[in-house]
Amino acid sequence: MEVLSSRVLLYPSEFDTSVRFYTETLGLQIYREYGTGDRVTGMVLFLGGGFLELASGRRPPEQRGILLWIQVPDVDAEHARLADAGVAIAEAPADMPWGLREMELHDPDGTRLRLVEVPFGHPIRTRLS
């Protein structure tokens, strides 16, 4: 698998408290924020060679915890390759409302792996100043 980038996603129980901890206490720098209107519901922080993303409680409680976000060039090709290898796919590839193509599988210990394809022209591909 060719990995283009990766990040660890945390779904904290108290989003604002976690944002303050990671940005003010630990001093991690912000890569990007997202949300609706003036409300920030997610934040991606620089974490050395990768990223840490804090996401507000958009997921059901059974999906809280760690998720490995892995950007690949072609989600559909990875889906076919992994399915052929006998890997159980939790969510088949789908186009998401936020413009990414994503699929999900779990490692042998149940850790969620989210494979993501970022299409050309998507804002994630734009370098921020």
Tell me the domains of the chain and their CATH numbers.
1-63 (3.10.180.10), 72-121 (3.10.180.10)
Whole-angstrom Cα distance, residue 100 to residue 122?
8
Range 76-91 average pLDDT: 92
pLDDT band at 48 (very low <50, low <70, confident <90, very high): confident
For residues 49 and 125, the model is more confident at: 49
- pLDDT of 79 reads 94
Tokens describing residue 13: 């129980």
Whole-angstrom Cα distance, residue 88 to residue 8?
21
Per DSSP, which regions of the chain are E strands? 5-10, 30-36, 39-47, 50-55, 66-71, 89-95, 101-106, 112-117
Instruction: Tell me the pTM.
Output: 0.65
- pLDDT of 9 reads 85
- Is 43:35 a contact under the CB 8 Å cutoff? no
Whole-angstrom Cα distance, residue 101 to residue 122?
11
Q: How would you label 88-106 residue by residue, b for 16+ Cβ within 10 Å and e otherwise?
A: eeeeebeeeeeebbbbbbe
- pLDDT of 13 reads 78
pLDDT band at 60 (very low <50, low <70, confident <90, very high): low
- pLDDT of 59 reads 60
Range 44-51 average pLDDT: 87
Range 22-36 average pLDDT: 88
pLDDT band at 29 (very low <50, low <70, confident <90, very high): very high
Residue 120: pLDDT over 90? no
